[in-house]
Structure 1
Amino acid sequence: MPAGLVISAPASGVGKTTLTLALARAWRNRGLNVQCFKSGPDYIDPAFHAAATGRASVNVDSWAMDRGTIAHLVGRGTDADVVLAEGSMGLFDGVAARGVSGTGATADIAEMLGWPVLLVIDPSGQAQTAAAIAAGLRDYRAGVRLAGVVLNRVASPRHEDLVRRALNDAGIAVFGALPRHAEISLPKRHLGLVQAEEQAEIGKLIDEAARFVAEHVDLDEVLGSAASWSPQPAANGMNVTPPGQRIALARDAAFSFIYPHMLEAWRAAGAEISTFSPLADEAPDAGADVCWLPGGYPELHAGTIAANARFRSGLRAFADTRPVHGECGGYMVLGAALTDADGIRHEMTGLLGLETSFAKRRMHLGYRLAALGAPMPGHQVGARLRGHEFHYSTIVAQPDTPLAVVHDATGAVIAETGSRRGLATGTFFHLIAEDR
C-alpha cells in the first residue's frame, strides 16, 4: 500500500521543489518506487519530478478539477511505494472564490487525499517565530494534518538549536535541518524555474540534492510520517476532449507548456499526436486534422521563429483547410508580430492580427473561466473552459473577433478574451478542464 505525503511551505521560494526532488531521488536510490504530483497549475515542476523518479508526474488542481478527475489522476500512484504531492505557494494559498472542488490551495489536496503535510520552513531572519508560523499552519484548518517540519537554509548550529527547541515545545516534529547549500539551487527565469530539459546537468543536481538531504534529514522518520493510502476508484475520468483525431503538436524549447494530463487524456480518447519543432523550421504534419501550439518561451526565440520560413509557410498552408489553436506563447506566434524585451519587433505567422510586446512587461496571473462565443478545436460554442494564465506580455493590438467571455476566479471580466480569424483561434489561458 503506498504511503502518501504532501510537501508544502508557508510561502513560495522556501525550497519545496528541491526537497521534493531530493526525497524522491533518495528513496528511489533505496529501491523504492516514487510517484510525484504537483498541486496547482505548474508546467515546470512535473518535468523535474519525472527526472528524479523516472515516472511521469501530473498536475492536480482543486479549482479546475472535480474530485473524480483528481482521483483518476492520483490513481497512477497505486503501484508506487511512496507518493509525494508538491504544493504551490503557501499551504493555504488559493483564490477567494471556490472552484470545482476547492480554491486551488494545496491544503485542499491534502484534506481530499487524507495525506499529512511535510512543511518546509526557512527560518532566515528569525528563530522561535518559525515555530509560531508552523503551529499556526498546523491549527488553521481542521482536516489538514501536519506530519512535521524540515528546516531549510539554517544559518548555524546555534540557530538550528533555537528553532528546534521552539518547535519541540510546540509539539511539532523536526525531521532535519538543511544548512545553506548553493550547489543545489535550481536556476530561475521570469516564469519560474528553467525547464528540466534545458539543464544538461539535471541528473547530477538532483543526485547532489539527494545526498545532501539524506545527510541532514531522517528519511526513515519522514517516510514513517506518511499516511498509508488506499485510493478509491474514480467515479469518472478527465474532463478533457481532444481537439482532433490526429493532432500536430508544436514541441520544443519555445513550445513546451502543456499539462501532461492533457496529452494523456487526448491519447486515452484515441487521438494520435505527432510533434514538430518550429525552432528546427519544421512544419506541422500534413496528415493531421488539427494543429496545436502550446505556450512556452517564444519571446526568447522570436528571431529564430521569424526567420524560419518553412515553419511559417507550412503553418499558414495548414490553416487554410484545418483548425490551428495557440495557447499563450503559441497564441502570440499565431499573431502578426512579437516585440521582444529589447524592443525588437519580430514578424510572426500572421494567422491572427494579435500583436504583443515584452518591452514593457506586466504580469498576468490567475485562474480563468471562459465561455466560448465561437468554437475552438475540441469545444463548441457555449463550452465553459477552466484554465490558468501566466505571462508578462502586453497586447499592442487585437483586431480579430473575440473567442470567449473570460472571467477571473472572482468572477470579474478580463480583457484577454482570446481571438479567432478563419480557422485560427488562440487564448492567453492554458486549458486545464472543461466544466461538464
Structure 2
Amino acid sequence: MTLPQLTRGLMISAPASGTGKTILMLGLLAALRERGLKVQPFKSGPDYIDPAFHLAASGRASFNLDTWAMPAGQIAGHAALGGDADLVLAEGSMGLFDGVARPGEAGIGSSAEIATMMGWPVVLMLDVSGQAQSAAAVARGFATLRPDLPFAGVVLNRVASPRHEALIREGMAEAGIAVMGALPRQGNVELPERHLGLVQAEETAEMARILADAARLIGGHCDLDAIIAAAAARTLPDAAPHRPVPPPGQRIALARDAAFSFVYPHLIAEWRRQGATILPFSPLDDQAPDDSADACWLPGGYPELHAGRIAAAEGFRTGLARFAETRPVHGECGGYMALGAGLVDADGIRHRMAGLLGVETSYHKRRMHLGYRRAELLARMPGLGVGQGLRGHEFHYASILAQPDAPLADVSDANGAKVPETGSFRMMPGGGVVTGTFFHLIARVGGAGDHAGA
C-alpha cells in the first residue's frame, strides 16, 4: 500500500537514557500546544508509560512505533494517524541507535530507524555536564554516523553557566551542528520514578504544574521557531497492508485503575477501529467485569503495590470467576499475576489472587525480566488461534514460584533463546478459557491462527 506524505515531524532522542529527553518532549508538546499548534506525539519502542504523559501534554493520544515488533505496514499506518496535526514529535527510547542484536519485523527497534523511515530529523538532547567543546565531537558523531539519517541539531542540557554555554556553542559551530536550545543545570523539571520507570501520569500529583514548568523551561531556553522550521517528512514507501490484532470480543471488559493500566494505546485503538466497545472497570474498587461483555482483559500494571486491596476485593474475584466460566479472560504481566493463585509482595507476604490460574509469583526477591518476546500460540487465546505468531515485550521484577498449568505459547527472546515465561491457560467447565502471558502484546505476525474466534 502506498501512503501519502507524512506530517512534518521531529525525533526527540539522546545518546543514552537519563539525559532529559522526556522533559524536552513534554515541554515542547506543552509549549507548542500553548501556541495553538496541534502536535501529534509518538513513542519509539515498547513503552506504555510515556504515551500517557504525551496525552496529558498534547491533548492527543500517543502511539508506539517499533521496528522490531511491528511490520512496516503497521508502523506506516500508525504514523499516518498524525495526518490532521500541524506537527509530529516522536520521543525516542534509550540511545538514538540502540536496539537489539538481531532484526525483527522491520529492524532492530532503534529510534534512528524510525527517524530515517519517516524522514523526521533528529533533535538530540545532549548532557554537556563535565565537558565543553568536546561535546561537539559527540554531536557530530551522532549526526554523521549514518548518512541517510536526517539530523536537525542539538539541545544542550545541564549547562553550568553562560561561559560554559559559549564554549560549547563555539565547538558546535566549528562542527557544523545547530544548537536549538540550552537548558540550565539548575531549575530543571523532574518527574517522579519507581521501579518500572516513571510514575504513571494519572498518579502524578500536580501534573498540570509539572507540564506548565516544563513548557516554561523549554519555551524559555529553546528556539521554538527554529525547532518547528527543522521539521520534515517523507512519502512512505510501499508496505504490505497491516493486519491488526483482532479484538478479544466485541464488548471488552477492560480492567483500568492504578493496579492495571499498562496497555499499548495502539492496541485499544485497533480494537475500536474494528468495532469493539471498551467497558472499563476497577478491581481496586471491587468492581467485576460488566456482565454484558463477551471478553475480559486485565492489563499489566502494579498489582504488587496493591496486592492487599486485590486480595480483599471479594466482589471482583467472585464476579470475575463467574464471568470466566463461560467467556474468555486474558491477563498480561500484572494482569496474569492477578489471575493466578497468589502473589508474594516485597515484604514477603503472600496475598490471595483470583485463583483462575495456578501461577504463583513473588516480588520478595526481585529479578528483572526485560526484553522483546516472540511467541507462537500453543493454545487459543481471545481472538487468536493456535499457531498465531505474536510480538511483544516483557518488563517486570517478579519471580515465578509455580506455573503449573499448560503453557500458552512457545516464547523466545529477540535473539531466539527460549524463555521460561511461556504464559499458561486453563479451560473452564462452562466453556470459558483463562489465558495469561508475561509479555505485553504489540503485534501479530505470520499467517497461522488468523480466524480463531474469541
TM-score between the two structures when normalised by the length of structure 2 = 0.93
Instruction: Tell me, in whole angstroms, the C-alpha distance in 1 between the residues paired with 2:132 and 2:362.
Output: 44
The alignment status of 1:426 with 2:430, answered yes or no, reads no
Aligned to 2:18: 13
**1:164 aligned counterpart, secondary structure:** helix
- Report the Cα distance in structure 1 between the residues aligned to 2:239 and 2:55, rounded to whole angstroms: 24
Give the match for residue 281 of structure 2: 276
Query: Is 2:66 the counterpart of 1:61?
Result: yes
1:291-337 CA-to-partner distances (Å, cap 9, x unmatched) read 11000011110000000100011111111111111000000000111
Which residue, out of 211, 221, 236, partners 1:206? Answer: 211
Q: Which runs of 5+ in 2 are unaligned?
A: 1-5, 428-432, 447-454
What is residue 216 of structure 1 aligned with on the other side? 221
Contact 1:339–1:359, Cα closer than 8 Å, also in 2: yes
The answer to whether the Cα contact below 8 Å between 1:72 and 1:233 also exists between their aligned partners in 2 is no
* Partner SS for 1:71: helix
* Map of 2:303 onto structure 1: 298
Match for residue 324 of structure 1 among 301, 306, 329: 329
Give the drift of 1:125.
Answer: 2.4
* 1:116 paired to 2:126: no
Offset at residue 234 of structure 1 (A): 7.2
| Identical counterparts, % of pairs | 65
Letter aligned with residue 422 of structure 2 = T
Confirm or deny that 1:31 pairs with 2:36.
yes
Change (3 A) 1:238 1:257: farther
CA distance in 1, matches of 2:186, 2:344: 38
User: Using the alignment, how far apart are the partners of 2:326 and 2:7 within structure 1?
Assistant: 49
Equivalent residue of 2:100, what SS? coil
1:350 maps to what in 2? 355
d(CA) in 2 for partners of 1:233 and 1:198?
Answer: 41
Structure 1 residue 229: deviation in Å? 5.3
Letter in structure 2 aligned against 1:430: H
Q: Measure, in 1, the Cα distance between the counterparts of 2:169 and 2:421.
A: 48
Post-superposition Cα deviations, 1:363-396, rounded to whole Å, max 9, x if no partner, equal 1110000011111111111111000000011111
**Aligned residue type for 1:268:** R
Report deviation, 1:225: 1.1
Cα pair 2:188 2:217 within 8 Å, conserved: no
**Partner-residue secondary structure (3-state), 1:253:** coil
Aligned partner of 2:445 in structure 1 is 435
User: Is 1:253 the equivalent of 2:258?
Assistant: yes
**SS at 1:150's partner residue?**
strand
> Are the equivalent residues in 1 in contact too, given 2:192–2:204 (CA < 8 A)?
no
Separation in structure 1 between the aligned mates of residue 250 and residue 228 of structure 2, nearest angstrom: 43
Query: Are 1:78 and 2:88 an aligned pair?
Result: no
User: TM-score by structure 1 length?
Assistant: 0.97
State how far apart, in whole Å, the 2-side matches of 1:389 and 1:407 are.
11
RMSD: 1.5
Q: 1:164 aligns with which of 145, 169, 184?
A: 169
Structure 1 residue 119: deviation in Å? 0.2
Q: Distance in 2 between matches of 1:177 and 1:373?
A: 53
8 Å contact kept, 1:87–1:106: yes
Aligned-residue offset at 1:129 = 2.8
Q: Is the 8 A contact 1:239 1:435 kept in 2?
A: no
* Conserved? CA contact 1:72–1:234, under 8 Å: no
Code of the aligned partner of 2:52? A
Tell whether the 8 Å contact from 2:328 to 2:382 is kept in structure 1 after alignment.
yes
Q: Please say if 1:267 is aligned against 2:272.
A: yes
Paired AA for residue 336 in structure 2: Y
Which amino acid is the alignment partner of residue 424 of structure 1?
V
Residues of 2 paired with 1:359 and 1:158: CA distance?
Answer: 50
Structure 1 counterpart of 2:373, which letter? R
